[in-house]
Amino acid sequence: MASKDTDGKEPRTGKGSEKQDDKDSKAQRELGILGPHGDMRLASVIINGYSLELRDRESDGFVGDVASGTAFRHMLDAWRKLVTSMSGKDPFGSKATRDFSKKQLDKLADKNDDAAHALEQAAEDYALQLAGVVQRFMKQPTWRDVERVILGGGFHQSEFGSRAIDRVRDILKADKTPVELHTLHHHADEGGLIGWVHLAPPALLQSYDAILAVDIGGTNVRCGIVQTHLHRAPDMSLAEVVRREKWTHKDDSPRRDELVEGIAERLEDLIAHAEKKKIALAPYIGVACPGLIVEDGSIAGGTQNLPGNWESTRFHLPRDLCERLPTIGHGRTQVCLHNDAVVQGLSQLPFTQDVRRWAVLTVGTGLGNASYTNRSPVGDK
C-alpha cells in the first residue's frame, strides 16, 4: 500500500502499485480525502468541544479514566477478589474479568448470588465515579449550562449497567446537580454510525439512499450502511443501519495497517451488498475514531487505545483507507474523519431539540466526551 507502517513494512510494489499510482487515480484519491475533517460548526448544531481532559490530583491521571469501561472492570475485579476471599470460592470461575462480555456477566449474576453481589457493589462504586465526572465536567467552560447528558457506549445496555446509571441519576438529584441524564436513543453499535448523517454534505444526501460509516474503538470496529430516509424525515430521526459488520479486533491483535486493511475489506463487502440490494450508495465514507482530529485529516492525539502509531506524520487514515477501496458509483469517493464521541452524540441530535445545550459521555475502553449547542433556525443566539 502507499502508506508506510512504523513497524518497518514497506510499500507494495509491482503491477498493482503502478496502476494505483496512475495520474488519474492519484488525482481521484486526492479529491476523495478533502474532508472537511473534524468540522465543529454544522447547520443545526455547534460542537463546543470534545476529548475534554481534566487531571485527577489523587491518581495523577485524567478524571475521565475513573469512569471508563476499563475502570469498571478493575472495580469488578477488586470486588471479585474480596468475595472470593470471604466465600472461599471464586463465583466467576477461572475466566479473567476482562474476558466476560456484558451478557455473560448478566447471566452469571442471575445464577450466582456471590457474582451478583460483586457486580452490585462494583456498579455502586462506578456510579459514584461517573456522577463525580459529570459534576467536574459541568464546571468547565465548554460544558457550562449543559441541560442534558447522553450516555453512550454499551455499558447501559446490561442489567448491571442500567442499575448503575439509575444510581447516577439518584446521586446527581441528591446533590442538586441541574442536569438530566439520558441514554443513547440508538443501539450502541449503531449510534457511532448513524451520527454521520448529520455530518455528511446535505446536497449529497439528497441524491442517494445511504452512506457508509465506520466507528473505530479500542476493542471493536463497526462498519455499516446507514440509510437516511431523508425524504420521510428531514430531521434524520428515521435514519437506520440496514447492514452492519462488527469486528472485535482486539482478539486478533492487528497492527495498525492490518486494522485499516480489515476495515477496507468489510467496507468492500458492504459496497457489494448495497449493489445487490439496489441501495443507492453515496460516494462518501464517514470514519469515527478516538482522538483529536485535525482539519487536514491527521490525528493529533488520544489514540492510545489503538494499535500502533496513529499520530505519525507518515500516516493519514482517510487517504490510506481511500487507497484501499474501489470507487463507489460514478462520483469521487470522499472519506471524512471525526472524533468517535462527537459522532455518536450527533446520532442523538433529532431527539435533543427541546434543550439548548447538551453533552455526551461514551463509556467504552476509555471515556469519550463531547458537548454541543443547538442552533436556532435564524442562527446562533
Distance between CA 375 and CA 339 in Å, rounded?
A: 21
Instruction: Name the stretches of the chain with pLDDT < 70.
Output: 1-35, 58-60, 331, 377-381
Cβ atoms < 10 Å from Cβ of 157? 16
Helix (H, G, I), strand (E, B) or coil at 223: strand
- Residue 284 sits at φ, ψ, to 5 deg, of -150, 135
Sequence letter at residue 6: T
Distance between CA 163 and CA 159 in Å, rounded?
A: 6
- Residue 280 sits at φ, ψ, to 5 deg, of -75, 105
The pLDDT value recorded for residue 364 is: 87
**Start-to-end CA span in the chain (Å):** 48
The pLDDT value recorded for residue 161 is: 94
The pLDDT value recorded for residue 10 is: 33
The pLDDT value recorded for residue 13 is: 44
Which tens digit of pLDDT belongs to each residue from 27-42?
444 444 556 799 999 9
Identify whether the C-beta of residue 222 lies closer than 8 Å to the C-beta of residue 214. yes
The model's pTM: 0.87
The pLDDT value recorded for residue 27 is: 45
HSE, CB side, 13 Å, CA atoms: give it for residue 315: 17
The pLDDT value recorded for residue 5 is: 24
Distance between CA 308 and CA 188 in Å, rounded?
A: 25
Would you give the DSSP letter of residue 375? P
Identify whether the C-beta of residue 92 lies closer than 8 Å to the C-beta of residue 80. yes
Sequence letter at residue 300: A
